[in-house]
Structures are given as C-alpha cells and as structure tokens.
Amino acid sequence: MAADPIISLPIISLRGVTKIYGEGPTAFQALKGVDLDIQQGDFVAVMGPSGSGKSTTMNILGCLDVPSGGTYLFKGHHVETLDRDQRALLRRRYLGFVFQGFNLLSRTTALENVELPLLYRGEDKKLRYEMGMAALDKVGLKDWWDHTPAELSGGQQQRVAIARAIVTQPDVLVADEPTGNLDSQRSIEIMELLTDLNRNSGITVLMVTHEPDMAAYARTIVHFRDGLVESIEAGVTA
C-alpha cells in the first residue's frame, strides 16, 4: 500500500479573524472574519483600498496587534492566546520588519543599525559583528558598513533596513510599503532584493503595497475589501 503523501501545514493560518475598535455605537469592525493561509517560502503581496483591512491584518500577522476573535496559527501554535511578552518573543525570533520609512538611527553606522535586533537579543559583540556584516553583504552593502544614514541614498537606507530585518534569520519578513519612499529605479532594486531573499534564503515575504507593478513580483496576491479577503490570485512569478 502506498504511503500517504506528506502535507505541509501553512506557516501562517487565519480562521474567522475579526478586529473591532471601540465599543458600543461607535465601534468599528475593521476585520469581519478573515480566512487566510500562507505557505512557507511564499512571497505574498497584500493589496486593497484604504480601510479594506489589509494593514490591520498585517499588524495581527506581525504580532503588533491582537484579533478580537478567531484563530491565528503560526507554525501550528495559537498566537491569539499569547500574552504581550510571548508575542514579543515570537517577533524577535521569527519575524523581521521593513517599513516605508526606513526607521534608521541617524547617528549610528549602517552596521550598528543592523546589529540592533541582536543587541536586544543579548548576543555578544563578536557575533553581532559577524552576523551584521553577513546581513549587509546579502543586501550588497558590506563595503558601506561604516556609513551613517545621511551618507546613504534612499535605496541604500532601505537596504540597510532590510539587512536589519533579516539579521536574526527570521522565517517571515513583513514589509509595509517598502518602496513607498523610493523612485522607480530604486523600487525595482528593492523588489529584486526581496525576490532574491525569498528564492535563495527561503524567507517567506509578506508585503503590503498599493502598486500593481510592485505586487507583480509576488507569487501570490491577496486582495482585501471591506474587512475580508476578496480574492487570491497567482502572481506573475508563481
């Protein structure tokens, strides 16, 4: 008798996730029962108009917010039952974040910015240096390690921010409008970098974007509307 096929579980699974802000007659339901599965190693673009629920969902996925109802499984573990400290630990160990604003410390070098998550994790100086330089090398900025943000272009600053996000070797990279502050050429460079990290490092990428040409780099495109997943389609690179 043939063995049963091995079915890999999604790294992230949402079932019936709701989010309500406020109470009583002024309460606003941002999410109305979101169901979503994200596979390990996928590159997912999340799109939708303002107020569609995409940013709220990403905040919940990134453990920056908690659902009002429903279940959130990360690697099979119920995230919605975790307390604040446990969610912070999950973020530090498994998630990396890239934002539209680069959020770099202005008076510190690229390397020191990249080392910050390792400093919070209590790693020693030698390991922080080695891992920080390796992350800068991955984004093509190893030779710029001693430059401050003011000495870097916008595209280079975002590369430093990406290096900071991947220095802890996260399973999932959460990118919120990562090209929003960049011109067209720099945007393409950042998207090619994220694609390379996804394909060659196996990092699952979750990206919010308003730009269809940026979403085209993803393998999966999720459209939100009115607090629900409206549709899921395969991207051009799927």
Inter-CA distances, 53 with 8, 69, 130, Å: 28, 15, 39
**Residues 64-85: pLDDT tens digits?**
999 999 999 999 999 999 999 9
- The whole-model pTM stands at 0.89
Query: What is the chain's percent helix, strand, coil content, to nearest 5?
Result: 40, 25, 35
Other CB atoms within 10 A of residue 185 CB: 9
* Residue 52 DSSP SS3: coil
Residue 204 exposed, middle or buried by CB count within 10 Å (0-12, 13-18, 19+): buried
Residue 6 has what pLDDT?
45
Residue 9 has what pLDDT?
85
CATH number belonging to domain 12-234 = 3.40.50.300
Mean pLDDT, the chain, rounded, equals 92
**Residues 162-171: pLDDT tens digits?**
999 999 999 9
The domain ranges of the chain are 12-234
Task: List, for the chain, all residue ranges whose pLDDT scores fall below the cut of 50.
Answer: 1-6
